[in-house]
Amino acid sequence: MVSSAVVNTYPLSSYTFGAKEPKMEKDTSVADRLARMKVNYMKEGMRTSVEGVLLVQEHNHPHILLLQIGNTFCKLPGGRLKPGENEIEGLKRKLSSKLAANSPGLEPDWQIGECVATWWRPNFETIMYPYCPPHITKPKECKKLFIVHLSEKEYFAVPKNLKLLAVPLFELYDNVQRYGPVISTIPQQLSRFQFNMIQS
Amino acid sequence: MRNCVAAVIVVELFKHPHLLLLQVNNSIFKLPGGRLRPGESDIDCLKRKLSSKLSAGENGRGPEWEVGECLGMWWKPDFETLQYPYLPPNITRPKECTKLFLVKLPPSRRFIVPKNFKLLAVPLCEIHDNHKAYGPIVSGVPQLLSKFSFNVVES
């Protein structure tokens, strides 16, 4: 009935990081992104996106892996589902697209855990809420965050135009200005898990 | 270390989820709950506190409370009021840990509340991001509930 889910986290040093060809953003500005979202909404209805929370440990504190574009903007690995695509399969596809080497043999066997948060976008604007606001019958996007259980050794290939960062939970907490509402509130959503910090 | 538990109870009004909060003396909003006795389990303490604050009495003459899963934990590294949703690094002896549990209500229930408390049902849209009025723990509850999908049962 009541169980604290346990998440194994391994040191950053137990993972190997390589580079692969750049993966450019499809939109050059926020306005472009919202315009493209509108076009897609007309064709396919509400967008469902999935993102992965990948955890490692450093100095006995959990760190989340974030992709940094340019010098400031950070995002979680993930993206939009194709119409009718299953959430878990879609997340595996996106994780491999952003973080796995291109040869099929080197692709990690992604272990997708439970959903830790859901965010809703009521209009074609940047604001999102962790509930569907009252009086909104046609939300434009639903974004789901899933915890991803990493195994002890993985090889990640990061697109050349992105940087992969391991950010400690204490840096994210209450830091809406730097990371936005979705990423800065991940520490609260992870607070019920017990982290098993495994040393190398 | 002091162990506390708090209950997250959700009801529906105008097709939007509302959280039950107790307001003490017209000022602070709290989730129903409290501190564990030595050797007491989380669930037993929560049932005891719920009966004491929302039902006929600690000796549980009211119906049973159905305690669901743990939604989150908040840690106090020292005796000041600052709480964090993780154990801050380099802290080996935290002073307090508060665990939030989802409590499921039956279709119908009678609440009996002490006269100096007010029981309120506050919509999630009012609590979300409202750190100033509700504090970090209560204002963070909408995000902890976001992974659930609410099944609105008509009466």
ipTM: 0.87
* Mean pLDDT over the full length of chain A: 91
Do the Cβ atoms of B17 and A131 come within 8 Å? Answer: yes
Contact A129, A119 (CB under 8 A): yes
What residues of chain A, 52 to 71, have a C-beta less than 8 Å from chain B? 59-62
Residue B3: C-alpha distances to residues A16, A58, B33 (Å)? 40, 27, 11
Nearest to B16 among A119, A130, A134 (CB): A134
Its sign, for the CA torsion B70, B76, B79, B82, is negative
The predicted model gives A177-196 an average pLDDT of: 93
C-alpha–C-alpha distance, residues B52 and B16, integer Å: 28
pTM to 2 decimals?
A: 0.90
Mutate to test the interface with B, among A188, A189, A190, A195 (most CBs of B within 10 A): A188
Share of chain B above pLDDT 70, in %: 95
* Chain B positions in Cβ-Cβ contact with residue A166 (cut-off 8 Å): none
DSSP helix/strand/coil, B64? coil
Distance of CA A69 to the CA centre of its chain: 14
Position B99: which residue type?
A: K
Instruction: Fill in the DSSP letter of residue B41.
Output: -
> Which pLDDT band, with edges at 50, 70 and 90, does B106 fall under?
confident
A191 touches chain B (CB under 8 A): yes
pLDDT value of position A1: 31
* Chain B positions in Cβ-Cβ contact with residue A190 (cut-off 8 Å): 85-86
pLDDT value of position B56: 74
C-alpha–C-alpha distance, residues A1 and A4, integer Å: 10
A29 touches chain B (CB under 8 A): no
